Amino acid sequence: MKNGKAVVLVVEDSMIIRMGAVDLVLSAGYEALEACDADEAIRILESRDDVDLVFTDVQMPGTMDGIKLSHYIRDRWPPVRLIVASGEAILEESSLPTGSRFFSKPYDNHVITDAMAHLLSIGNDEWIN
């Protein structure tokens, strides 16, 4: 956490939905970063060491979707918390990395901010177990 504020990376290809998600992150008191696809998200994660949580869509253009991205992040940056959302697919949480949370779109903003607060409050020891 930078300056006591958690840093949340929003990964969403739809600019309107991404803007809404960024506003949601900011209104919850977190710092927001944004990426339009998995490749941009990975570039951001490689260039910064302060990302606490990634909030990603499933369906995205590019080399990987949100499910592959979440597994890639878990393998490469294990402490990063993960929230995955989709308007198309209903996922079993078992298809996501351990500790991830899945939400169907349209999601309730309070449910998402509560999930962010919960995930960010868990210590690294408890996080992946």
The structural domains of the chain, with segments of one domain joined by +, span 7-127
The pLDDT tens digits for 11-43 are 999 999 999 999 999 999 999 999 999 999 999
Domain 7-127 bears CATH identifier 2.70.210.12: no
Q: 3-state secondary structure string, the chain?
A: CECCECEEEEECCCHHHHHHHHHHHHHCCCEEEEECCHHHHHHHHHHCCCCCEEEEECCCCCCCCHHHHHHHHHHHCCCCEEEEEECCCCCCHHHCCCCCEEEECCCCHHHHHHHHHHHHHCCHHHHCC
**For 76-97, how does the pLDDT look when each residue is reduced to its tens digit (9 = 90+)?**
999 999 999 988 766 665 688 8
Side-chain-side CA neighbours of residue 35 (13 Å): 25
Question: What is this structure's pTM?
Answer: 0.91
